[in-house]
Structure 1
Amino acid sequence: MITIIMAEDHQMLIDGVQSFFEYDEEISFIGTVNDGEELVKLVALKQPKIVITDIRMPRMDGIQATRIIKKNYPHIHILAMTMFDQPEAIKQMLDAGATGYILKNSGIKMLSKAIITVANGDTFFDPNVAFNFMNSYIEDNVTIGNTSKIILSNREKEILNLIANGSTSKKIAELLFIAKTTVDTHRKNMIRKLNLASGSDLIKYAIDKKYNF
C-alpha cells in the first residue's frame, strides 16, 4: 500500500485528488494539510511512504518543509505538485530532496503515474518541465511523464493474464482466493489506468498483450 500525505492550500484540489483515488486499493491518503508547518507535524506523526506538496503555502513553503522531512525521514519520498515551472524552483525542490515534480494542470492520470514511479524509488518529471530542465539535471534513469509505458501492479498483471485466458471475475476470485468484488475493483482500476472505455476493451487489451509485461 502506498500511503500518502498531501499538503496543498486549496482544499478543493485536495478533495478532487482524494475523490479520484478513493477506491484505489494500492494508494491511500492518510492525511491532508493546508500549510508547511502542519505538514511537517503530520509526517512526524504518521510517516507516510510519499508526501505530495505544493511549493507556495502559508507559514512554511514546500521547499523548507521538504528539507526538514528528508533530514529527519530520508526514506520518505517527496513529490512536488505545483504551478511553478521555472528551472530555479525545480532545482530548489530537488536540492531539498524531492524525487518527483509535476504541474497541477497535467491531469490526474499523470499524477497517478508519478505516485507509482516515486513510490518505487525512481524519479519522475512532468514532461512540461522536463524540457527546460533536461540538459542540466535530468539523468537517464528518470521517468518523463509522457512515456508510453503503462504501470500495472503485480496483482493487476496477474488478473490481466487470467482475463486473457478467458477467466471470469468469479473464476479469477476462486483462483486467487480473493473476493469477486476485489477482482471487479481491479478491473475498473485497469480500465482507468489503461485509458480504456469498457470491460470489453479490457478483454481485447489483455488478449493483445498476453504475458507481455
Structure 2
Amino acid sequence: MSKIRVVIVDDHAILREGIRALLQLHADIEVVGEAADGRGAIAAVEQLDPDVILMDIAMPGLGGIEAALEINKLGRRTRILILSQYEDREYVRRLLKAGVAGYVLKKSAGSELANAIRAVNRGGLVLDPEVARTAMQDAGQATTGAAVDPYEALTDREKQVLKLVAEGRSNKEVADVLGISVKTAMSHREHVMEKLGVHNRTELVRFAIKKGVIRMDE
C-alpha cells in the first residue's frame, strides 16, 4: 500500500519536528518535506508533489491563506490541510473560500491529526468541531444579506500585498517575497488602499487586524 506523502509547513522548527515525530508513528503516512513559510510551501508542492500539505496560517511573508491561493492555482492534486491554534471566523471563512480541504486545531491529538490527513487524502472535507461551529455561524449570517466585504474585492495578489504591507514590509521587501518588481509592488499597494478606502498605513493595518489578515499576537 502506498503511503500518504505529506509536507509540513510552519515557521517554528520545533513544531515541525514534533509533528514529524507524531506522524512517524503511523505506517501509512510519510513526511517527505518541510517548509518554514508560504513561499516554501509553494515550492515544495511544485518540487515534491505531495498528497497533503499540512500548513500553519500565521507565518511571516506569505501566510497560509495567501499560499493556499497560489497552490490551488498550480492545478496539482495536493490537498491542503490547515493546522492552526486559531479558531478565528475570518480565517476559517477565507481558507474555505481559498479551497483548503481541512482545518484542524493544533491542540488536536496526534491520532486525530493522522485521521484528518487520511480523510482529506480521500477527498473529504475535515473541520475541527469548534471550527465547524464557527463556519456554520458564519454561513447563517451570510444568508441574511450582509454587506459586501471589501476584502473580497481584492485580487489574490492584492490580498498577499495587503498582508505584507500590514506586517510593515517595504515595497522592496514585498517585491522580493512575491517575486515581482518594486514598481509592480507599489502599484498593487496603491490599488489595495484605493479599494479598501484607506489613506495611510495605519488605517491599512487597522483594517488588516480587524479582518484577521494579521494578528497582534503573531
TM band (smaller chain): 0.5 to 0.7
Identity %: 30
SS of the equivalent of 1:106 reads: coil
| Alpha-carbon distance, 1:112 to partner | 1.1
Q: Distance in 2 between matches of 1:122 and 1:111?
A: 14
Q: Distance in 1 between matches of 2:49 and 2:26?
A: 20
- The aligned length equals 138
| Alpha-carbon distance, 1:137 to partner | 4.7
Within 5 Å, which residues of 2 pair with 1:145-160? none
Residue in 2 that maps onto 1:143 = none
The answer to whether 1:134 aligns with 2:136 is yes
Residue in 1 that maps onto 2:29 = 27
Q: Pick one of 98, 116, 119 that aligns with 1:117.
A: 119
Divergent runs of 4+, >2 A = 134-138
SS of the equivalent of 1:13 reads: helix
| Alpha-carbon distance, 1:75 to partner | 1.8
Structure 1 residues 137 and 32: alpha-carbon distance in aligned structure 2, compared to 1, 3 A threshold: farther
Letter in 2 for 1:121: G
The answer for unaligned runs of 5 or more in structure 1 is 139-213
Structure 1 residues 110 and 24: alpha-carbon distance in aligned structure 2, compared to 1, 3 A threshold: closer
Letter in 2 for 1:131: R
Higher mean C-alpha deviation, range 107-116 or range 45-54: 107-116
SS of the equivalent of 1:81 reads: strand
Letter in 2 for 1:107: A
Residue in 2 that maps onto 1:99 = 101
Letter in 1 for 2:112: M
Q: Pick one of 86, 89, 99 that aligns with 1:87.
A: 89
Q: Under a length normalisation based on structure 2, what TM-score does the superposition of the two structures give?
A: 0.60
Which structure is higher in RCO with an 8 Å CA cutoff and minimum separation 6? 2
| Alpha-carbon distance, 1:25 to partner | 2.2
Q: Under a length normalisation based on structure 1, what TM-score does the superposition of the two structures give?
A: 0.61
2:38·2:62 contact (CA, 8 Å) conserved in 1?
yes
The answer for unaligned runs of 5 or more in structure 2 is 141-218
Q: Rg: which structure is higher?
A: 1
